[in-house]
Amino acid sequence: VEAEHSPVEESTGFVRIVAFTDGVFAIAITLLVLSIDVPPGLPGSGLDDYLADSRGQVFAYFLSFAVIGRFWMGHHELYGMLRDFDRPLVVLNLVYLSLIVLIPFPTELLGTYGDRSESAVLYALVVGSAAAVGLFKVHYILRRGLVRPDALAAARRLPAQMWLPPTVFFASVPVALLSATLGELMWLGILLDPLRDRLSRRRPADAS
Amino acid sequence: VEAEHSPVEESTGFVRIVAFTDGVFAIAITLLVLSIDVPPGLPGSGLDDYLADSRGQVFAYFLSFAVIGRFWMGHHELYGMLRDFDRPLVVLNLVYLSLIVLIPFPTELLGTYGDRSESAVLYALVVGSAAAVGLFKVHYILRRGLVRPDALAAARRLPAQMWLPPTVFFASVPVALLSATLGELMWLGILLDPLRDRLSRRRPADAS
Amino acid sequence: VEAEHSPVEESTGFVRIVAFTDGVFAIAITLLVLSIDVPPGLPGSGLDDYLADSRGQVFAYFLSFAVIGRFWMGHHELYGMLRDFDRPLVVLNLVYLSLIVLIPFPTELLGTYGDRSESAVLYALVVGSAAAVGLFKVHYILRRGLVRPDALAAARRLPAQMWLPPTVFFASVPVALLSATLGELMWLGILLDPLRDRLSRRRPADAS
Amino acid sequence: VEAEHSPVEESTGFVRIVAFTDGVFAIAITLLVLSIDVPPGLPGSGLDDYLADSRGQVFAYFLSFAVIGRFWMGHHELYGMLRDFDRPLVVLNLVYLSLIVLIPFPTELLGTYGDRSESAVLYALVVGSAAAVGLFKVHYILRRGLVRPDALAAARRLPAQMWLPPTVFFASVPVALLSATLGELMWLGILLDPLRDRLSRRRPADAS
């Protein structure tokens, strides 16, 4: 990280931090499946009832897969712009990951008690906090000049694209206190929004 | 990797997406072992009964290990032919992974309630959907020209090799409604088929 | 895998298979900790009783960590000698991994029911089978000429070093039927043996 | 990496050991979330009671995330200084990892029975042992000359920085026997200490 180091070493340290972070994302997204339980010893009709109930768990699984998948795509793009890490960024990245890795917990809560406001509030707080720390990370990276020169223009556009998700998730907290379902609909809106954005951005690329 | 992109950045992003996908496959296939439970506090004869019953769980474990292993081999081959990702392919890849990662859930269901049609139907639907999205992914890659020129001929042969698994898994759904065992036999047929294919392809290689 | 491919592509496919296999080892060895349960809601004396009982689970954890660690060291050495994979080796490697990944299951059984012959027998069968498939893999690699020329002499010494573990684990099956503890002592002997071997090999290296 | 070895082979083996170790760290830190349970079938007020109780589990999660994160940062720095592994270091590294991977077990214990001295004592023993083996690893690396020449000065400063954590964790054992809370406060002191250190080191870098 200091000037006295050779470039090869730098890139090894850099590559290892990025690989560690990608690995944590891959594990967290895969652990989501463990939030779907299969209770042993159910009788015939009990299995049917369980499968009907488990729809909520499967919905929560796909919701969180989309949420962590979106976080990973943003993280993938951001780390492709970096030229270096400094030590505070490594710590900040661990704080960020501690919130990403926590997501399977509110996911299981939401899948099991999806109609309860408590579940929706906790889910919104964890995902909103992860998104807020992610936004703070971009500000830090820009302020400390850790972006590659050729990616600077793209990196400076990121904060304007990233303030919406934490805002919506935090704004859904009071809504979820009234109705868990209404809060969840707000999250789906924010998850589908980048899809629309991406489809509209694709057209000029096709034309070129 | 191509001349029209900044080479270092492109290849880093490409390598990271492939590594993320390989990592998710590795984690999903390893989590399968968690579908085999060990209940605490069993008395002497209870342990024997449990071990006799757990044969179904061990069978489901090996079945799904073979299924995810086959998916990974196909994915390994396909991504070895790619020259680039575009953003819709990254999203499509996440949709594909969300179905691969889900497999431990119907595996646990099949291992615990293997004689129930519901288990076999859910298993066939999840695995069939993953196979169908995988086939769609190949069509997308070919249509968008994301294959390396030297791998184009091999890539064009993939759809003809890949339509059978989703067809068999979806066709097993009505069969499994009548008999879970019959549906499972259809899956074993499709899993052993490529082995026969590979053995027959090996002979000319030995002759050369 | 075929002659018409470029060397760079070959190495990418090769590196990805090795990374996948290393990843599966890393996940399987880490999942061992999940075999140690923490039951909720225990009263004061119940926690003390539980902690006294959990010694067997902690022993089984360290035993299997040593077992998978040894397998990984052997696999690390072997794959460092390879020059290429062919398709049957990829399949054989998956069969091998399906037995490595299974180890947390008999580990949990051994930790929970360590005094029962059934647990020790199942543990010995799974670990012995993994060791036997590992030995068969080395024979296949040698017969198909997949070893780098400069590593051929070292690779040819491997079978003579590798027949002992599967033999001891399979031989411990009838012993464990009489006494689970005696069977476990046989495994400890084979785990500590390479340590002695390594220490004795270190001395000439120090002298040179 | 050195002239006396086949360079490609050495660096592949070296990179694979580092990647395996990084992977085990990434999995262990992510498995921490599984120490937070979500019991099914709670009635309305039962969920509120459970969420109030689960604060201890969430605290233990963040504590252990910080602990494993700190270990990983130290390990990241140390392995960036290495020029090679020898076989005893590979074994020593596995012993070290077996203690890191064990951390989710005392974490779950601490989260569920945080007010019990037994939980705090077991937590301190496991984390203290991991820190002690980590310190021993640095001594071994220095004694065997496995550090790159340009990193030797930095590596020699490591033992003086690393004796504090194991000392504090072991010293907290008798304290935790009197009061679990007092023992936990000692751990927080040691976790926040490097933060202070890092902030003070940052200022000269800003000035340059």
pLDDT by residue (tens digit) across C111-125?
Answer: 999 889 999 999 999
- For chain D, say whether A145 makes contact (Cβ under 8 Å): no
- For chain A, say whether D18 makes contact (Cβ under 8 Å): yes
Which two three-digit tokens encode residue A68?
A: 């962590």
Gap between the Cα atoms of B37 and B104, Å rounded: 13
Tens digits of pLDDT across chain B (208 residues):
333 443 333 467 888 999 999 999 999 999 999 999 888 888 878 888 888 889 999 999 999 999 999 999 999 999 989 998 898 999 999 999 999 999 999 999 999 998 899 999 999 999 999 999 999 999 999 999 999 999 999 999 999 888 889 999 999 999 999 999 999 999 988 887 665 555 555 544 443 3
| The predicted structure's pLDDT at residue B115 | 87
| The predicted structure's pLDDT at residue D3 | 37
pLDDT band at residue A194, thresholds of 50, 70 and 90?
low
Q: What percent of chain A has pLDDT over 70?
A: 87
Q: Enumerate residue ranges in chain D where pLDDT < 70.
A: 1-11, 193-208
Minimum-distance CB partner of B31 among A30, A44, A151: A30
* 8 Å CB contact of A40 and B112: yes
- For chain D, say whether C61 makes contact (Cβ under 8 Å): yes
* 8 Å CB contact of B33 and C28: yes
C82 φ, ψ (degrees, to nearest 5): -75, 150
* 8 Å CB contact of B116 and A47: yes
D21 φ, ψ (degrees, to nearest 5): -65, -45
- For chain A, say whether D95 makes contact (Cβ under 8 Å): no
* 8 Å CB contact of C30 and D34: no
pLDDT band at residue C5, thresholds of 50, 70 and 90?
very low
Partners of residue A134 on adjacent β-strands: none
| The predicted structure's pLDDT at residue B9 | 38
Those residues with Cβ within 8 angstroms of residue A159's Cβ, 6 or more apart along the chain or in another chain: A135, A138, A139, A142
Q: What is the dihedral sign for C-alpha C184, C190, C194, C197?
A: positive
- For chain B, say whether C19 makes contact (Cβ under 8 Å): yes
Count of C-D CB contacts under 8 Å = 83
Find the range with the poorest average confidence among A11-20, A84-93, B107-116, B170-179: A11-20
> How many angstroms separate the CA of residue A172 from the nearest CA in chain B?
25
Q: What percent of chain A has pLDDT over 90?
A: 65
Termini Cα distance of chain C: 40
Minimum-distance CB partner of A61 among B20, B102, B103: B102
| The predicted structure's pLDDT at residue A208 | 37
| The predicted structure's pLDDT at residue A40 | 83
Q: Nearest chain B Cα to C10, which residue? A: B80
Mutate to test the interface with B, among A12, A34, A38, A45 (most CBs of B within 10 A): A38
* 8 Å CB contact of D31 and A34: no
B82 φ, ψ (degrees, to nearest 5): -75, 145
- For chain A, say whether D12 makes contact (Cβ under 8 Å): no
3-class DSSP assignment, residue A122: helix
The DSSP output letter for A80 is: T
pLDDT band at residue C201, thresholds of 50, 70 and 90?
low
pLDDT band at residue A6, thresholds of 50, 70 and 90?
very low
Closest by Cα among B32, B23, B22, B20 to B67: B32
| The predicted structure's pLDDT at residue B195 | 59
Tally DSSP H helices, then E strands, for chain D: 9, 0
Distance of CA D153 to the CA centre of its chain: 23
Q: Nearest chain C Cα to D15, which residue? A: C19
* ipTM attached to this prediction: 0.88
- For chain C, say whether B61 makes contact (Cβ under 8 Å): yes
Rounded average pLDDT over C2-10: 40
> How many angstroms separate the CA of residue D28 from the nearest CA in chain C?
6
The better pLDDT of the pair A197, C137 is held by: C137
Name chain C's partners: 3 or more CB pairs within 8 A.
Answer: B, D
Tally DSSP H helices, then E strands, for chain A: 9, 0
| The predicted structure's pLDDT at residue B1 | 34
Rounded average pLDDT over C166-189: 93
Closest by Cα among B102, B63, B31, B76 to B190: B63
Minimum-distance CB partner of D76 among A2, A16, A103: A16
Find the range with the poorest average confidence among A2-11, A144-153, D82-91, D150-159: A2-11
pTM of this structure: 0.90
Contact by Cβ (8 Å): C80, D28:
no
> How many angstroms separate the CA of residue C103 from the nearest CA in chain B?
8
* 8 Å CB contact of A30 and B28: yes
| The predicted structure's pLDDT at residue D135 | 95
pLDDT score of C11 more than 70: no
Place of tokens 């060397």: C7
| The predicted structure's pLDDT at residue B11 | 60
| The predicted structure's pLDDT at residue B198 | 56
What dihedral do alpha carbons A176, A181, A182, A184 form, nearest 10°?
80
Closest by Cα among D141, D150, D38, D56 to D107: D56
Q: Tell me the pLDDT of chain C averaged across its residues.
A: 87
Q: What percent of chain C has pLDDT over 70?
A: 87
| The predicted structure's pLDDT at residue A13 | 83
Contact by Cβ (8 Å): C27, B26:
yes
| The predicted structure's pLDDT at residue B186 | 93
| The predicted structure's pLDDT at residue A57 | 94
| The predicted structure's pLDDT at residue B82 | 92
> How many angstroms separate the CA of residue C178 from the nearest CA in chain D?
31
Minimum-distance CB partner of B109 among A38, A72, A80: A38
The DSSP output letter for D146 is: -
